[in-house]
A and B are shown apart, each in its own frame.
Chain A
Amino acid sequence: MRVDSQPAAFSNIGAVNPLGLRPKNLTEKPLNKVIGISIIAILISLSAWGYQLSQGLIVTNMRNPFSWGLYIATFAFFVGIAAGGLIVSSSVYLFDLEKLKPFTRIASLSAFASVLAAGAMILPDMGRIDRILNIFFHPNFRSPLVWDVMVISAYMVVTFLSVYVQLLPDWKSEGRGFFNGWTKSRSLEEVQKFSKKWSKRISLIGLPFAILLHTVTALIFATQASRGWWNTAILPPDFIAVAIASGTALVMLIGLLVAGKERFTEYNDAFKILASIVAGALVVHFFFVFVDLVIHGWWGKQEAHELFSLLFGRYSLVYATELLLPGFTMFYFFSARGKRSYQSLIFGSVLLFSGVFAHRMMLMFPAFNAIPLTLSLPAAGIESWAYPISVGQLRDGMPSFVTSWSYVPSLVEGLLAILPFGIVTFVVSLALKLYAFLPEKH
């Protein structure tokens, strides 16, 4: 059956295409195109990186008062979607959602690709990438960043393994693949049993890892009492909620593209479940958002006033994007209409991604534009006065000290931030091209 499924598998692969359009004839061409595009994307971002390395981070629009920007936000975004994978595949076993079973491979693949991308995105943000190994030579175990490095690496291994074991049977039967010499001596059945058993085990240990990944990543921010916007216990659980939503959405999106319109109905129920997971996770997320705002706002501290003026004033547009788009997706995916069609699901997911990306950017704006060293001078009737920060660059007509920094990523940052997108697309499309990820129903 594998054999005759082969062309079918490939034909679906043909559906993978950024625009989601289905080509007339089912060949590998479109997939090659995607691979090509992703390679170009990667090359562009790498050359941007090269330029940044030659000039220093001065080519970004980050400065002392706003020292983390697009790179870290994008990193957080990909860490987020990396979760979905293992969460889906593990829930298959935990709550044995038979219907989702066909998606476990895609799930693992998307997780692996995303965490790889996240890892890649961190690097250009380092001022001294040449010293990156210091993290291993001189790790400071009190630093959440070190925990994160560990978890991310572990997560990479786990997600890779889970892809690996699920592909083993195919490889056995097709007599290809890698790291699978040891299967030679075993029969296909044995290998399939092995694969089944270990897929399950890995998914199960994968779940806590996924949770950990987000908790730790959230802790990088949440531990910092200097930044009121981050310093809340709600951040980690909310990270998880958002991760489940966006991660699952990614699995669904890839699934949709692989399945294509004509096999959509085949997996309709599975997609329905995925959509519901997304919507459900969003409910939790919005609950956290709400609670967070109430807690920030109720006491009415001056800091809160500033925070709100940033959220609903200066950055209201980004904030609206962060709230409204996923908000829409949530209702849409609960509604029958939203779950119904191929397009609607793609549409909903895309909105969600944009919203989540905005959400990640909004990690930065309110955090950095509320100066930690803000004083109140009751004697002068001044409730809050921010102590000016030295910018870190001397430029004509630009003050050397500021109390806020209107950060907009520079072109170089923009181009460099394509890197993770390129990587995800490349890894996924290449994997899809090489192997079958959505088994035929029978």
Chain B
Amino acid sequence: MGKSKMKLSRRQFLKAATATGVLLGGGGAVALTQKAYASGEVGVPNLKTVRTTCSPNCTGACGMNAVVENDQIKSIIQAADYPDPEYNPRGCLKGLSMMNLIYGPDRLKTPLIQKGKAGKDELQEASWNEALDFTAQRLKEIAEKYGPESIGVAFQVGGTGYVHKGAFSRLATLAGWSLHHAYDQNGDLPMFWPMTFGVQSEELEPAEWLNSSYVAVFGSNIMATRLPDAHFLVEARNKGAKMVVFDPNYSPTAAKADEWVQINGSSDAAVGLGIAKIIVEENLYKADFIRTFTDLPILIRTDNGKRIKADEVQGLVKPADVPTYREAYVVYNGQFIIVNPEKLDLPLDTLLEGEVEVPLKTGETVKAKPTFQLLKESLAKYTPEYVQQESGIKPETLKKVAHEMATAKALHVIYGASNYQWYHGDLKGRALALLPVLTGNIGKPGTGISTYAGQYRIRFKLAEWWTPEGRAQNWVPFLYVLNGPTKTMKAKWPKNGIKALVLGWGNPFDQHNMANKLRDMVDKGDLELIVTMDFQKTTTTEYSHVVLPAVSWYEKTEMVATPVHPFLQLQQPAIKPLYEGKSELWIIRELAKRYNPDFEKYFYPGLDENQAAEKVIELLLQTGGPNVAGITLEQLKKGPVRLKSTVPGNRQIPFYDQIQNKKPFPPVSLPAKIEQTAQFVKSGRIEFYKDEDAFLQAGEALPTHKPPFVESEYALNPQAKEKYTFAYITRNAIYRVHSTHSNNVWMNELQDGKPRVWLNPQDAAEKGIKEGDTVELYNDRGTLTVFAVVDPGVGRKVAVFEEGWWARYLKGQSYNSLTYPFIKPTNEVYFVPGIWAPNTAWNECLCDVRKVGDAQ
């Protein structure tokens, strides 16, 4: 290569170097790159780069450039083309090594059909026609025999692919099959959200972290599970924000924090309420804020614990304009005032503490107290000493953080998934929500409470594509499939149960095989048909009767928008589908027409799979509503586009409208209609008091702390208390997206290819376990063989396992055989798919640990 190429001008390098700076990210670098690739200069091969979006279930949705040479992806690098440069470069080690999956040994080549026993016998290669005909035939039989609703469909996070997953939803809707919403199935639905704010979930966009002055992280491992956004937290800290991590285990996130506060598993509610007590008793709360935006002034009957409705009180009439899904309650400021659920305008002298006698229309007078008064009373028991006993946190630490939070200019609480994936995850969230609310840290830059689980929030209207002709859909929470129906359930259970599963974008036979139920149901024949679309052989494909080879996000056209960052992006084919792989839209179209010829017309027949996908994208953009208004396919082909929001600058700040413009709670949670979600917070306010019977019976009307396992494991089997004393905590690894990349050769090199359990040194010593030993984690439901990491950062009596290993790497055992599909009654009070539904509690699981071999 010529001298000219070798010599870099100083300017060039300045440019390149500054390009890596905090502000410009890799942006500048990419500019350089694309120039270099574009100019077909001698020595440089004819490489083309194709911009697509990496979107597995981590929901990171990172823009990637695939470097392609004669239809092969040679390497992948962040596109780093986000218009807000601070978001560049988004990406991680998994996304950059996708070639290992795309071209790897587990890639599906052809359709497969199980002619023998699923999970036992070899699957047989088949042609697309065979496979599709067979599948359609079996589905029809099952639909006829048990009803179409006995066919269950699961396709994971909507936001990672609106087109192809939409096609799936579209067919299921047309055919009247049941749909399993991924959010609760995954345990990612933070139930405190609908209970407290009436929404599915909300979060600050990561760039907003820079505006916080205090970040309280409760069991979220941002530095491992939000790799592309982690830098915002470090930068916030270096800008002076204080970062405190509450976690039983010392994590990379704890390592970057100013402080790590070690607490016992599932004791966060105790901590949160302990802090709330200090804030309340020392009058550090914002009285006007809670009067205006919360239900804390609302009067509660002391006899039956119900909120007093305006209609019940003498001389009060519920305003006519109150929608049916809301309720008008009563507060007191010398006289009784009706709380209009559509307005946030209570007088600032409204009573918060004390007791009043309320004359009812029935003639009787009842005693009532403002919610705040009851809260204060219920907080009495959360003395620093009690909190210490429950959580292990030192009283002085508790007081310190309480004062810091109360006085913080902008307090942001991050509530981690692992943390709410416990039986009482809802209670913990409700308790932690008190901190930003009492201190008035809601709806302002850098404030609030956020959950960064797999991000499910739908960003725009989908109905036109997802639910043809507004037809009704049958949603069945997946926990019922594993647990069986309950008496208290609101969701409609198919009369013959679920007999077949049609799956895509998921690997439930590792990830959701709680207590080994899925395998057992296949073995017993309760599940008569499993159809799986995937681009590689997984544990689930092994247990399937039909396997349909799909394609990765480098082989198809798709549109992506996950809430973790506010950009709408495309997936664009960088290469032709490998082997016989086909995109899901194509697969579903072919299946639909075989299942029922009338269905074909719903899927752009005659168009090639990528053209069809583009048509769908155009449809979605046209009908997607205000958030995508004006955005075109052409624009997206040029690069990512920021979604619109009601916040100036289209920033992503939850409840901005509610707080700044006094709009009633909740904001809409798409795709649900407001009447579905507003019923959760009938007062139109942030609610800490739930007076539905299930809550009253459970003693959970107000946020309270309940110790783990009592209502779950011990209720299931009282012996568990003695037999199994280790909490089986399954966190996420940087090397996998759940089970995706389990088989990625580089990821495994980086872990020596060994699944591990992290143990506290004292526990390890007591069990005679040394670093690297082979150990078994076991309970009545299953046994897991792994290698020990003795880690001084791990709390006592916890066995931390990094979830996602395929059974292949665990002697055929699926790591979820230890867990159990507990269902909490308060999660069944309402049912709105993926918004108020029974949420899976992965970490509500006990086990014991034993050594089986020495380290080699």
Using a CB–CB cutoff of 8 Å, the interface residues on chain A facing chain B are 394, 396-397, 399-401
B745 proximity list for chain A (CB < 8 A): 394
Measured as residues with beta carbon below 8 angstroms from the partner, the interface class of chain B is under 10
Task: Say if the beta carbon of B364 comes within 8 Å of chain A.
Answer: no
Task: Say if the beta carbon of B144 comes within 8 Å of chain A.
Answer: no
Task: Say if the beta carbon of B750 comes within 8 Å of chain A.
Answer: yes
Task: Say if the beta carbon of B634 comes within 8 Å of chain A.
Answer: no
10 residue pairs from A and B, CB less than 8 Å apart? A394-B745, A394-B749, A396-B753, A397-B753, A397-B856, A399-B752, A400-B749, A400-B750, A400-B752, A401-B752
State in angstroms the CA–CA spacing of A399 and B749 once bound together: 7
Interface flags, B729-755, vs A, CB<8A=1, else 0 = 000000000000000010001101100
Closest 7 CB pairs of A and B: A399-B752, A400-B749, A394-B749, A400-B752, A396-B753, A400-B750, A394-B745
How near does chain A come to B810, taking the closest CB pair, in angstroms? 15
A394 proximity list for chain B (CB < 8 A): 745, 749
State in angstroms the CA–CA spacing of A401 and B746 once bound together: 12
With A394-B745, A400-B750 already in contact, 8 other A-B pairs whose C-beta atoms are closer than 8 Å:
A394-B749, A396-B753, A397-B753, A397-B856, A399-B752, A400-B749, A400-B752, A401-B752
How near does chain A come to B773, taking the closest CB pair, in angstroms? 15
B753 proximity list for chain A (CB < 8 A): 396-397
B856 proximity list for chain A (CB < 8 A): 397
State in angstroms the CA–CA spacing of A397 and B749 once bound together: 10
How near does chain B come to A400, taking the closest CB pair, in angstroms? 4
How near does chain B come to A411, taking the closest CB pair, in angstroms? 22
B752 proximity list for chain A (CB < 8 A): 399-401
A400 proximity list for chain B (CB < 8 A): 749-750, 752
State in angstroms the CA–CA spacing of A401 and B752 once bound together: 8
A401 proximity list for chain B (CB < 8 A): 752
State in angstroms the CA–CA spacing of A399 and B753 once bound together: 8
State in angstroms the CA–CA spacing of A401 and B753 once bound together: 11
Interface flags, B98-129, vs A, CB<8A=1, else 0 = 00000000000000000000000000000000
Q: Which residue of B lies closest to A400 (CB)?
A: B749
How near does chain B come to A131, taking the closest CB pair, in angstroms? 24
Tell which of A396, A400, A401 has the most Cβ of chain B within 10 Å: A400
State in angstroms the CA–CA spacing of A397 and B748 once bound together: 11
A396 proximity list for chain B (CB < 8 A): 753
A399 proximity list for chain B (CB < 8 A): 752
Interface flags, B841-856, vs A, CB<8A=1, else 0 = 0000000000000001
How near does chain A come to B747, taking the closest CB pair, in angstroms? 11
How near does chain B come to A435, taking the closest CB pair, in angstroms? 57
How near does chain B come to A388, taking the closest CB pair, in angstroms? 10
How near does chain B come to A379, taking the closest CB pair, in angstroms? 12
Query: Would you list which residues of chain B between 744 and 771 have a CB under 8 Å from chain A?
Result: 745, 749-750, 752-753
State in angstroms the CA–CA spacing of A399 and B754 once bound together: 9
State in angstroms the CA–CA spacing of A400 and B746 once bound together: 10
Query: Would you list which residues of chain B between 820 and 856 have a CB under 8 Å from chain A?
Result: 856
How near does chain A come to B734, taking the closest CB pair, in angstroms? 16
How near does chain B come to A157, taking the closest CB pair, in angstroms? 44
State in angstroms the CA–CA spacing of A400 and B753 once bound together: 9
How near does chain B come to A210, taking the closest CB pair, in angstroms? 47
State in angstroms the CA–CA spacing of A368 and B169 once bound together: 61
How near does chain B come to A38, taking the closest CB pair, in angstroms? 42
State in angstroms the CA–CA spacing of A394 and B749 once bound together: 8
Q: Which residue of B lies closest to A390 (CB)?
A: B749
State in angstroms the CA–CA spacing of A396 and B752 once bound together: 9
State in angstroms the CA–CA spacing of A401 and B748 once bound together: 12
Tell which of A396, A397, A399, A401 has the most Cβ of chain B within 10 Å: A399
Q: Which residue of A lies closest to B792 (CB)?
A: A380
State in angstroms the CA–CA spacing of A396 and B750 once bound together: 13
State in angstroms the CA–CA spacing of A339 and B856 once bound together: 50
Q: Which residue of A lies closest to B745 (CB)?
A: A394
How near does chain A come to B746, taking the closest CB pair, in angstroms? 9
How near does chain A come to B478, taking the closest CB pair, in angstroms? 36
B750 proximity list for chain A (CB < 8 A): 400
How near does chain A come to B235, taking the closest CB pair, in angstroms? 24
State in angstroms the CA–CA spacing of A401 and B750 once bound together: 8
How near does chain B come to A316, taking the closest CB pair, in angstroms? 22
Tell which of B745, B749, B856 has the most Cβ of chain A within 10 Å: B749
Q: Which residue of A lies closest to B856 (CB)?
A: A397
State in angstroms the CA–CA spacing of A400 and B750 once bound together: 7
State in angstroms the CA–CA spacing of A397 and B752 once bound together: 7
Q: Which residue of B lies closest to A391 (CB)?
A: B749
A397 proximity list for chain B (CB < 8 A): 753, 856
Q: Which residue of B lies closest to A394 (CB)?
A: B749
State in angstroms the CA–CA spacing of A394 and B856 once bound together: 17
Q: Which residue of A lies closest to B749 (CB)?
A: A400
How near does chain B come to A18, taking the closest CB pair, in angstroms? 41
Q: Which residue of B lies closest to A398 (CB)?
A: B752
How near does chain B come to A247, taking the closest CB pair, in angstroms? 44
Q: Which residue of B lies closest to A380 (CB)?
A: B792
How near does chain A come to B809, taking the closest CB pair, in angstroms? 12
How near does chain A come to B611, taking the closest CB pair, in angstroms? 42
How near does chain B come to A34, taking the closest CB pair, in angstroms? 45
How near does chain A come to B806, taking the closest CB pair, in angstroms? 16
State in angstroms the CA–CA spacing of A49 and B421 once bound together: 60
How near does chain B come to A390, taking the closest CB pair, in angstroms? 9
State in angstroms the CA–CA spacing of A38 and B752 once bound together: 45
B749 proximity list for chain A (CB < 8 A): 394, 400
How near does chain B come to A198, taking the closest CB pair, in angstroms? 56
Interface flags, B130-158, vs A, CB<8A=1, else 0 = 00000000000000000000000000000
How near does chain B come to A282, taking the closest CB pair, in angstroms? 41
Q: Which residue of A lies closest to B750 (CB)?
A: A400
How near does chain B come to A287, taking the closest CB pair, in angstroms? 42
State in angstroms the CA–CA spacing of A401 and B745 once bound together: 14
How near does chain B come to A395, taking the closest CB pair, in angstroms? 10
How near does chain B come to A191, taking the closest CB pair, in angstroms? 64
State in angstroms the CA–CA spacing of A400 and B752 once bound together: 6
State in angstroms the CA–CA spacing of A396 and B809 once bound together: 12
How near does chain A come to B378, taking the closest CB pair, in angstroms? 43
State in angstroms the CA–CA spacing of A299 and B749 once bound together: 39
State in angstroms the CA–CA spacing of A400 and B856 once bound together: 14
How near does chain B come to A381, taking the closest CB pair, in angstroms? 11
How near does chain A come to B257, taking the closest CB pair, in angstroms? 16
How near does chain B come to A276, taking the closest CB pair, in angstroms? 51
Query: Would you list which residues of chain B between 30 and 64 have a CB under 8 Å from chain A?
Result: none
Q: Which residue of B lies closest to A395 (CB)?
A: B753
State in angstroms the CA–CA spacing of A208 and B750 once bound together: 52
State in angstroms the CA–CA spacing of A397 and B856 once bound together: 9
Q: Which residue of B lies closest to A399 (CB)?
A: B752
State in angstroms the CA–CA spacing of A290 and B752 once bound together: 41
State in angstroms the CA–CA spacing of A122 and B753 once bound together: 37
How near does chain A come to B392, taking the closest CB pair, in angstroms? 23
State in angstroms the CA–CA spacing of A394 and B753 once bound together: 10
State in angstroms the CA–CA spacing of A356 and B753 once bound together: 41
State in angstroms the CA–CA spacing of A399 and B787 once bound together: 13
State in angstroms the CA–CA spacing of A172 and B81 once bound together: 88
How near does chain A come to B26, taking the closest CB pair, in angstroms? 26
State in angstroms the CA–CA spacing of A399 and B771 once bound together: 14
State in angstroms the CA–CA spacing of A394 and B745 once bound together: 10
Q: Which residue of B lies closest to A396 (CB)?
A: B753
How near does chain A come to B577, taking the closest CB pair, in angstroms? 29
State in angstroms the CA–CA spacing of A399 and B751 once bound together: 8
Interface flags, B501-520, vs A, CB<8A=1, else 0 = 00000000000000000000
Tell which of B750, B752, B856 has the most Cβ of chain A within 10 Å: B752
State in angstroms the CA–CA spacing of A397 and B774 once bound together: 13
How near does chain B come to A370, taking the closest CB pair, in angstroms? 21
State in angstroms the CA–CA spacing of A396 and B753 once bound together: 8
Interface flags, B400-414, vs A, CB<8A=1, else 0 = 000000000000000
State in angstroms the CA–CA spacing of A341 and B749 once bound together: 61
Q: Which residue of A lies closest to B772 (CB)?
A: A399
